[in-house]
Chains A and B, each alone.
Chain A
Amino acid sequence: MTGWVAANLVSVLNGLAIGALLFILAVGLSLVFGMMDVLNLAHGALFLVGAYLAAALAAGGASWGTFLGALGLAAVIGLVAGGALSAMTEPLRRRSHLDQALLTLGVALIVAEVLQIVFGNDPLAVPAPPGLDGSTSVLGAAYPTYRLVLIGLGAVVAVGVYLLVERTTVGALIRATVADREMVAAVGVDNRRVKIAVFAAGSLLATVAGVLGGPVYGASVGLDSTVLILALVVVVIGGLGSVKGALVGALLIGQVESLGRALLPDLASFVLFGALALVLVLRPQGLFGHRSGAAV
């Protein structure tokens, strides 16, 4: 009995760690989506850029310097990439959702292929920084320290983003745009700069998530679409443009991914889809969504 509890404790903790990572990834996707109505399919590729960056810098041996260096570099790359994507989608503002999605899809394909050309086909491992690569005893079960730190980091980012969006003027503008884009435009607010900032910040979170996820997932071909789809499921479940929704969705999918795989290994995909389908049938706009995008 205690063994069963311990086994599941690890799964629950893993779920929390995955959830923390997914939140950092998905909240950017969700806000870009809610702010600009752009489905950014390059979001997963940005994550992969961060992961390969961490792997490349840590190739000569893991140290705090390389890890923090990777984080800093990833942040800069993310900001620049987000700004670039924002500029690229701007001319398509009046065009269809599909056009914008296709553009980001093209970018995603290019980035993923370039990464594959540079780093090869073999998966790369990313070591955790020294001091965090061991394990800590949690209620008697040994658990990787890095993942505990990841859970903490997720919580910090969640609080930070929440405060930014709920408690600041910029956040108020973001929320207003998410709720009613036409209205914000109609009252003459020029939110272009906020849009660029949100796109840049969202992309930053994606690349940073890639570095942070490195010690968990490593860096490999195809990881971009895996994380993209998880982030999308999180956003769909949580509701567009909702920070709270992204958090709840991420924690939920984290548990589904972890506990689901541990308890029902053959049915994990069904469980994921089941969770998605259940939410969509009961609340088509997502748990915390308020837009009528899914109106019947």
Chain B
Amino acid sequence: MTEVSRRVPAAPPAGADGSPPPRRLPRPGPAIAVVVVLVLAAAPLFLAPYATTTLTRMLVFGLLAVSLDLLVGITGLPSLGHAAYFGAGAYAAGWVSLHVTAAIPVPLLVGAAVGGIAAALTGWVAVRSAGVYFLMLTLAIGEVLAQLAHSWQSVTGGADGLAGIPAPALGGEPLANTGFLYWYVLAVGLVMFAAVWLLARSPFGTALRGIRDNEPRMRAVGYPTTLYKYAAFVAAGTVAGAAGSLLAAQQRLVTPADVGFTTAALVLLAVVIGGAGSLWGPVLGAAIVVLVRDALGPGLGGHGELLLGIVFVLVVYLLPRGAAGIGSLRVRRRRS
């Protein structure tokens, strides 16, 4: 049976091993990457503070989308609960900034570590499941962690959230200026993005894509796939936790909504719009989502989510290749 041919269009990413270049999304050459980084770095010099803040939020959300893409696009694990690790990192970074120190890089490291630990504690149950079960379990795990954020008043501040988080400090000097904060977020974001990019193009990342394409076959050639998926899950949780620490630094407030289902759904939307598996596409998707929610939302009476819901429905029907190639692989494999 020629299952392979059915899977053809479903696989955007390219690999170091000479796999084919992505069909839908051309990889930006190094030159484009340099230009993009330079433009991003120079942005606060000619943008108004409000626009800089919006751009900062895009970067934070973009990093979260990249971490989710590692799961969805590279490994083929569509998670509906990824915001949980983002939120865990945000709460941890916020708590450390409030009660211990806001000195860079402490909140960042703590956020990443807590995100990773949360993923490590909850991920094993999730990666052992497949198909619709994985969707459901990640959703359940994410939602239970959001509940925890609600009810663990003494640490998280309950429904009001963790407020009054101090700005991250560099050499004893808080980064109160929106420009400086932006550069901090940009620097961390770029480093983390590079790390995920390298991971995806490493032999380990190649194995993850093999699992996405055909897990039983990977087992047959001797890869302990559940372990690999678990490692990817924890890595994605760690990066999401780092993104969470940036959220705490930027927003200076963390609420249960940042952990919850809506955030998880929006970041998944960002990945799907941007093109799963390309890593940079989801950053673009995240920018669009933030733009719609934060910039256009107020104009719609705070109902940006209505627009996003419509986008969701349209994307599913109009961008099948964007949304496909993730779960479909897993479904067919399970039935084969």
Contacts and interface: CB of A to CB of B under 8 A. Distances in A.
State yes or no: do A and B touch (Cβ within 8 Å): yes
Interface of A: 33, 37, 39, 41, 91-92, 95-99, 101-103, 105-110, 112-114, 116-117, 182, 225, 229, 232-233, 235-236, 240, 265-266, 268-270, 272-273, 276-277, 280-281, 284, 293-296
A103 B130 contact: no
Interface string B299-317: 0010101101111110111
A33 B335 CA distance: 17
A102 B316 contact: yes
27 contacts: A37-B132, A95-B324, A96-B325, A96-B327, A97-B132, A97-B330, A98-B72, A98-B78, A98-B135, A99-B316, A99-B327, A102-B269, A102-B316, A106-B311, A106-B315, A107-B313, A108-B309, A109-B262, A114-B306, A182-B335, A266-B151, A273-B144, A276-B140, A284-B129, A293-B129, A293-B130, A293-B133
Interface of B: 72, 78, 80, 125, 128-133, 135-137, 139-141, 143-144, 147-148, 150-152, 226, 260-262, 265, 268-269, 272, 301, 303, 305-306, 308-313, 315-317, 320, 323-331, 334-335
Nearest to A94: B328
Contacts of B128: 284, 294, 296
A21 B265 CA distance: 26
Contact of A281 (B125, B265, B269, B317): B125
Contacts of A240: 132
B330 A103 contact: no
A39 B309 contact: no
B309 A113 contact: yes
Given A236-B137, A265-B151, A268-B147, 18 more contacts: A39-B132, A98-B72, A98-B323, A99-B323, A102-B268, A102-B269, A102-B312, A102-B323, A117-B303, A182-B335, A225-B262, A229-B139, A236-B140, A268-B151, A269-B144, A293-B131, A293-B133, A294-B133
B320 A95 contact: yes
Given A96-B331, A232-B140, A295-B130, A269 B313 contact: no
B292 to A, nearest CB: 12
Contacts of B308: 106, 109
B144 A107 contact: no
Contacts of A116: 303
Nearest to B127: A296
Contacts of B305: 109, 112-113
A235 B310 CA distance: 28
Contacts of B312: 102-103, 105-106, 109
B78 A97 contact: yes
Given A106-B310, A109-B312, A114-B306, A97 B141 contact: no
B205 to A, nearest CB: 21
B311 A97 contact: no
A272 B132 contact: no
Contacts of B226: 296
Given A97-B331, A113-B303, A233-B140, A39 B135 contact: yes
Contact of B309 (A33, A107, A276, A294): A107
B326 A98 contact: yes
A110 B139 contact: no
Nearest to B276: A98
A280 B315 CA distance: 33
Given A232-B139, A280-B137, A103 B132 contact: no
Contacts of B311: 106
Contacts of B335: 182
A144 B152 CA distance: 30
Contacts of B323: 95-96, 98-99, 102
B141 A273 contact: yes
B273 to A, nearest CB: 11
Interface centre among B147, B260, B269 (most CB of A within 10 A): B147
Contacts of A233: 140, 144
Contacts of B147: 268-269, 272
A179 to B, nearest CB: 14
Contacts of A281: 125
Nearest to B264: A105
B330 to A, nearest CB: 7
Nearest to B139: A232
B111 to A, nearest CB: 21
A228 to B, nearest CB: 8
Contacts of B272: 102
Contacts of A276: 140, 144
Contacts of A98: 72, 78, 135, 323, 326-327
A96 B152 CA distance: 36
A278 to B, nearest CB: 10
Given A106-B316, A117-B303, A296-B226, A266 B152 contact: yes
A225 B151 contact: no
Contacts of A280: 125, 129, 137
A88 to B, nearest CB: 8
A291 to B, nearest CB: 9
A39 B136 contact: yes
Given A110-B313, A232-B140, A294 B327 contact: no
A272 B144 contact: yes
A105 B136 contact: no
B302 to A, nearest CB: 9
A110 B314 CA distance: 12
**Top-6 shortest CB links A-B:** A106-B312, A96-B327, A109-B309, A110-B309, A98-B327, A96-B328
Nearest to A261: B151
Contacts of A91: 317
